[in-house]
Amino acid sequence: MKNTNKTRLITLTALLAAFACVATMLIRIPTPTKGYVNLGDCIVNIAGWMLGPVYGAAAAGIGSAFADIFAGYVIYAPATFVIKALMAAASVGVFKIVSGKKHSFAGRIAGAVSAEIVMVVGYFLYESALYRSFAAAAVGILPNAVQGIMGVVSSVIVYEAAVKRLPKYNNN
């Protein structure tokens, strides 16, 4: 019985990694910073909420990093792996702290907001090092914040409308 649960968890992790990759690449709205706004953060947050901090982080990081690789943003892939993994872990961690055992709507919003703050700060720090300039990296803050707002809204709506209606899939 235990192997069945582990197999199911690994399968869901791989599936959500693929969803994160596809959601990131499917709708891409270009930004002035040569990046793009996408729906990937919707899956990043949902992966954390469904799978917990470890497997959710793996799904979010792997799927999002592959999207960068496939889209030609290879230089961002290592940072994306770390940032998106931290986002999923933050999202579920804050969600649990705020919600407790109630699994509240407010907890989900707080979790998603915390994840998006991780994203904005993470890419700012990475781009500061990459460009060797805080000013150059600051140009990405607004587009990343817009991406973050889209991530919060889409993940909470999709989770509330669809995911939470699925049969129980986790132990978080």
pTM beyond 0.85: yes
Percent of the chain with pLDDT over 70: 94
Closest CA to 62 of 52, 28, 54, 121: 54
Q: DSSP class of residue 132?
A: T
Q: Which CATH fold would you assign to the domain 2-165?
A: Arp2/3 complex 21 kDa subunit ARPC3 (1.10.1760)
Report the alpha-carbon distance of residue 92 to residue 128 in Å, rounded. 27
Tens digits of per-residue pLDDT, 6-47? 999 999 999 999 999 999 999 888 777 666 788 999 999 999
Name the region of 38 (left: φ>0; alpha: ψ -120 to 50; beta: rest): beta
